[in-house]
Structure 1
Amino acid sequence: MKTKVLMAAVLSGLVLVAGAAQADGPRDRPDFATLDLNGDGALSLDEMQAQGEARFAAADANGDGALSAQELIAAAGQRAEDRAAKMIERLDANEDGVLQMDEMPRQGGDRAERMFERVDADGDGVLSQDEFETAQERRGGRGGHGGKGGRDRG
């Protein structure tokens, strides 16, 4: 029984740390040196759990040991601001502090063009209502979600 409780605690701690590390995406994961709090060149479970606890404490604005919806939204908003700033820094080719359409990465690359060409049956460069409806029928009314239709993620 003690072994099961210990394993559950270890797994819970690892899940907490993994979730916290992934929350900001791969670019914002803490490096080894950051996690190695005592600088001994090794990571203990306590050090890994401390990272998750530090993220929780940073989000807990009022220090009550619980995260309200407002605190979670504020933490997410800060991460969004940080990501937006990094995105602008990375993609802003003309360095004007904003992103124009030509600086944005093309989503799907040439895939959208190939799909359009397949649907444009008569090759006239535009889609008629018939071509559009035929394409929808071929897709089986799947929408744009691989057969899953629109999903409510809220």
Structure 2
Amino acid sequence: MKRANAITSALILALTSTALPLAAQDRDAAPRPQRGPGFDMSRMDTDGDGKVTREEMQAQAQKRFSDADANGDGEVTIDEIVAGMETQRTERMQKMAERMLKRADANEDGKLTADEMGPRNGDRMFAFLDADEDGAVTREEFERARKMFGDREARMNRGDHDHGKRWKSDRADKPRHD
């Protein structure tokens, strides 16, 4: 009975972790890329027939439960949940660091120098921040830019992408008079 409850609980957890984000998504918004484990048909369709049976879904739920149950006692504790979350976080951070290194490592030596880590569009960014073009960024200018960037991020999260065009001021290409 305990095993059946555990499997049922794991299945409910797996399904709700997938269904809730979809239910919360605005129906008119553009589709968002999937984040987190979610419902991965290819992983659940173990026989590769293009369909997921109840048995395959239960097997996936059992695997997720077993992965979470680090000590194998048939129960998942808060410590085991946190440990699993920390492992996932570490994996995400590792991938982000690898992408950062690949993108910024100009000489491809596997390390970043101060120049490689510096702002890629420093002059353009400064021109954007320095709205009155006086050669300095005030708190007000910084807050204005921060608000604009926050608005842009909110639009991107809704699927209303402007691909960064709003923050790229045409002033950035004009000569500076310092």
TM-score by length of 1: 0.49
Higher relative contact order (CA 8 A, sep 6+): 2
